[in-house]
Structure 1
C-alpha cells in the first residue's frame, strides 16, 4: 500500500548540523536558562548562535519570533536587553522534555490501547494541514491511511485536544480510544504503514556515527554540546517513541541515546563553563 504524505520523517541531512535558529534557541534556553530560570543577554545568545554557524540576522529573527509567540520576554536595563522564559516557555520546554523521555525510555507495560484521530483537511487549507501533520508527528502519531492518525500513548488525549484547538480543527475531528483486534491488517503491518521505522533506525545510526565520543571536531566544547543537545532535542520529530512491544528486535534507539547522553554529561562541565564566559562578556 502506498504511504501517505508523511508529517515528519527522519531528516536526510546530517544530524550534526544544527536545526533551525528557533530550534537552537530552544536548545540554549532549555539547557542553560530553564534549569535555574536565569536571565540571558541578547549578546550572549548571539555569540552562542555564532558558534554553531547561525548568522546574526537569523538569530535575531528567532529571538523576536519566540518573543512574539510568548515563549520569552524582554527585560530592559538601560540600553541592555536580556531575556527570560515566560510561563508558556517553561511549559513548552517541559513538554519537550517529557516527549524526549518517551523516546529515551520506551514504555514496557503498554496496555494495547490506541488513541485514534480521523480528520480531513482540504487542499485549500494546505498550510494548516502541514502544521497539523508536523504537530501530530511530534506528538507521536502515525498515519497508516489517509485521514487516520494513530498513537499508542492513550495519555496524550489532552495534547491532541490542544493541537486541534490551536488549529481550529475540533469540529472536523473524530477522536476515539480503541484496541487492535485480530481481524484485518496485522499489528506489525499497521505499525509499518504508520511509521517508517527503517528511516528512523538509519537516523540513529547516522547520529551515532556523527557523535562518536572523542571524535576530533573544531569549535570547542560549547559548540559540540549545543549540536549534540539540539540533535537529541529534535528526536521527537523523527522517532514516535513507540512502546517496546511495537519496536522491531534490535532497535538501535535506546542504546544510541544512552551513549550520547553519557557523552553529553562528559561535555557538560566545560560547555557550561564556556557559556558562563559568554554571559560574563555580555554583562
Structure 2
C-alpha cells in the first residue's frame, strides 16, 4: 500500500482528506474481506462512499483504476456491474487488518532486536525507490542513513522486496545495538516523533468528541471514516519500543479511543451493510 494510495497529506476539521482509493480499500476491508468470494454492486459502493464525501464520478474512476491495477475484479450480472477483491488486494487488506486489530499501536514487548535493510538503486530508478521507501515506511522502517533503513524487532520484508523485483539490490540483517549506541537518541534522529505524536493527539481529540453520540444515524459511514483515518494515523508509526518513548506517548490513549468507537459502530454498521449492500458471489 503506497503513500499516494492512502492520503493526500491535507487535513480539515473533519480529519485528513482521504484519497478515494484509500476509502475504497477500507470499504472492502470492512465489508468484503471477511465474507470470502463476495462482489458488491457499484451502486452500493457509490452510496456508501458518498456518505464520506466521495462523488459518483470519483467512485467510478477509482473502481476502473483499481481494476487496471489488479486490486479489484469486475463481474457483470445482467445490466449491473459488481466488484470483488483480487488476491493482491486481499493480501494488502490482511496486512492492514493485522496492523489495526492484532499488533496495535503500542509496542510493549520489544525484544531488543532490530532489522536493518541496505539498498543501492540506480539514479534512474525513481519509481522503484519511491515504492521501496513507501513499503518500508508501512513496515515500520525509518532512514538511519540514506541507503540504510532500520526497524524495531524482527521484520520479515523479504516478500516485499521480492514483489518489487529488488532482491538483487537489497541486503537485510537482524541485529542488536551495541552498548555504545544511545537508542533513544537514535530513535529521535531517525523518526519524526513530534509528527507521529501529533497525529495520535488529533485523532484522539476528534473521536473522543464523537463517543457520546454512539453509532449515530450513519454507522456505516462513521465506521468507514474511523478505520480509514486510523490507518492514516498509524501509517508512519513504526511501533517503536515503549520503553524508549516519552511516558505520555499519545498512541495508547488514541488506540483506546479507536477501539471504543469501533466497538460502538461494529454491529450497527454490519446490520446496515446487510440491508444496504447488494452483493453476489464471485464466479
TM-score by structure 2 length?
0.85
**1:149 Cα offset (Å):** 0.3
Shift of 1:167: 2.6
The SS at the match of 1:108 is coil
In the alignment, does 2:95 pair up with 1:95? yes
Residue 248 of structure 1: how far off its partner (Å):
2.4
CA–CA distance in structure 2, aligned partners of residues 75 and 281 of structure 1 = 11
Aligned to 1:195, which of 191, 204, 209? 191
Whether the 8 Å contact between 2:214 and 2:264 is mirrored in structure 1 is no
The whole-number CA distance in structure 2 between the counterparts of 1:218 and 1:208 is 18
Match of 2:226 among 225, 228, 231: 228
Does the 8 Å contact 2:105/2:255 carry over to 1?
A: no
Q: How many residues align?
A: 271
SS at match of 2:277: helix
How far residue 242 of structure 1 moved from its aligned partner, in angstroms, is 2.0
**CA shift digits 1:43-64 (9 cap, x unpaired):** 1011111111112222122222
Classify 1:44/1:22 alpha carbon distance in 2 versus 1 (closer, same or farther; 3 Å): same
Asked if residue 209 in structure 1 is aligned to residue 174 in structure 2, the reply is no
Deviations 1:14-66 (A, max 9, x none): 47245211111111111111122232111101111111111222212222232
Distance 1:10 1:187 in 2: 32
User: Alpha carbons of 1:130 and 1:247: their partners in 2 closer, same or farther (altered >3 Å)?
Assistant: same
Counterpart Cα distance in 1 of 2:16 and 2:260: 20
SS state at 2:238 partner: coil
Instruction: Using the TM superposition, give the Cα deviation of residue 204 of structure 1 relative to its aligned residue in structure 2, in angstroms.
Output: 0.6
- Matched with 1:166 is 163
Distance 1:17 1:55 in 2: 17
SS at the partner of 1:65?
Answer: helix
Distance 1:246 1:164 in 2: 29
Alignment of 1:21 onto 2:17: no
8 Å contact 1:10–1:203 — kept in the other structure?
no
TM-score (norm: length of structure 1): 0.85
Runs of 5+ unmatched residues, structure 1: 1-7
Q: Distance in 2 between matches of 1:133 and 1:215?
A: 39
> How far apart, CA to CA, are the structure 1 residues paired with 2:40 and 2:248?
43
SS where residue 11 of structure 2 aligns?
coil
More strand by share: 2
Deviations 1:97-156 (A, max 9, x none): 1123465253433221111011133442222222211110001101122111001131x2
Offset of residue 82 of structure 1: 1.3
Greater shift in the superposed pair: 81-90 or 110-119: 81-90
Contact 1:18–1:24 (Cα < 8 Å) also in 2 = no
SS of aligned partner of 2:179: coil
Asked whether the equivalents of residues 118 and 175 of structure 1 are also in contact (C-alpha less than 8 Å), the reply is yes
* Structure 2 contact 111–153 (Cα < 8 Å) conserved: no
Alpha-carbon contact 2:22-2:228 (below 8 Å) kept:
yes
Pick the aligned partner of 1:252 from 245, 250, 253.
250
In structure 2, the gaps of 5 or more residues are: 1-5
Change (3 A) 1:202 1:70: same
Change (3 A) 1:270 1:17: farther
Q: Which residue of 1 aligns with 2:41?
A: 41
Please state whether the residue corresponding to 1:151 is helix, strand or coil.
Answer: strand
Q: SS where residue 110 of structure 1 aligns?
A: coil
CA 1:44 to 1:238, structure 2 compared with 1: closer, same or farther past 3 Å?
same
